[in-house]
Structure formats: structure tokens, C-alpha cells
Amino acid sequence: MDWFRSLFRRRPKAGRTGPLDVSHARQVAALHHQGGFARPWEPGECAALLADRAVVTDGIFIGRASEPCGFVMSRIAADEGEILSIVVAGGKRRSGLGQALLCAHLAQLAARGTARLFLEVEEGNAPAIGLYRRLGFDTVGRREGYYPKPDGSRVAALVMRRELG
């Protein structure tokens, strides 16, 4: 369980994490629109995901703010999970908030009995890939042409996995 304790040592002091619910659907959608996705989620889609009992969503907040400046959302099935999306607001990236958010989320999933977690990341997204590797994710596959780009082209996704317990 050394990895579990290390999650808390790596966590920056800035930001506090907490669960998100349906009342945060508009904020989650707005953040997802900042994520650079070819088809960002709309508030109704976010509300449906936030209401889904198989989906665990955490946000990160700065100071006394009631609106998250980032979120991570995972779908759980049996003892496996998949990160559906993780986004930190544009002006807050590269500040340690994403790492703090993901560390808290991993700890919560492990405490709920999730044994392994998967994610897909755009092959060229070096900052995200670096974060995931620092937090113990390994590349286990590659999906050609997985992500559509606004210009109509498609890029590969790396499939990454992390054992949680």
C-alpha cells in the first residue's frame, strides 16, 4: 500500500477535491468544452452521466469557490474502471491541480474496491501522458484513428492501465 500513501504525499496544497453531482452539469459541460475535444459534451449529457450510479465524478475547487475548475469522471463495472474524461480549466493547467484531482480520484476508487483503471489518451498529448505515467499508468495498447480532429483527420489513442489494489 505504499502507492496509496504516496498519492497523498504528491498532492499539492492548492485546491480541494470533492464529489460532483447533477447540480454541476453545466459547469462540467463548460469545462469539457475547454478540453479540446472534437465533440464536447453538452449539459444534458453531463447530467445523465452525473446521475448514473456506475459513474464516479470528482471536482477540484480553489479557495471557497463552489464551481469546480476541473473534474475527472470514471465509469465502474465490477472491479474495473475507465476514466471517461479529465479536464482542468485552461488557465489552471500545469499547476498541479490535475495531479491532485487524479490522486484523490484514484484513492476514492481504490477505497471502493476498484482493482484496475483504464484510460485512453491522445497519442500526442505529452503533458497528460506524463502525468499518467508519473501516477503509475502503463501503456497497454494503441487504437489507430481513435480521436477525430476538427480538420477531419484522426489520431491514435494510447490505452493505459493502472492497478489500484
Predicted structure pTM score: 0.87
146 is catalytic: no
120 is catalytic: yes
Q: Say if CB 87 and CB 35 are below 8 A apart.
A: yes
- Which residues span the domain enclosing 30? 2-163
d(CA 44, CA 97): 26
Mean pLDDT of the chain: 91
* pLDDT at position 110: 97
Number of domains in the chain: 1
Give the tens place of pLDDT for each residue, 115-157: 999 999 999 999 999 999 999 999 999 999 999 987 889 999 9
In the three-class reduction of DSSP (H, G, I as helix; E, B as strand; rest coil), residue 110 is classed as helix
22: left (phi over 0), alpha (psi -120 to 50) or beta: alpha
Residue of 67, 120, 123, 147 marked active site? 120
Give the tens place of pLDDT for each residue, 13-30: 468 999 999 999 999 999
Residue of 45, 82, 132, 144 marked active site? 132
In the three-class reduction of DSSP (H, G, I as helix; E, B as strand; rest coil), residue 44 is classed as helix
| CATH classification at residue 100 | 3.40.630.30
Q: Say if CB 65 and CB 16 are below 8 A apart.
A: no
In the three-class reduction of DSSP (H, G, I as helix; E, B as strand; rest coil), residue 63 is classed as coil
In this structure, the number of other CB atoms found within 10 A of the CB of residue 71 comes to 26
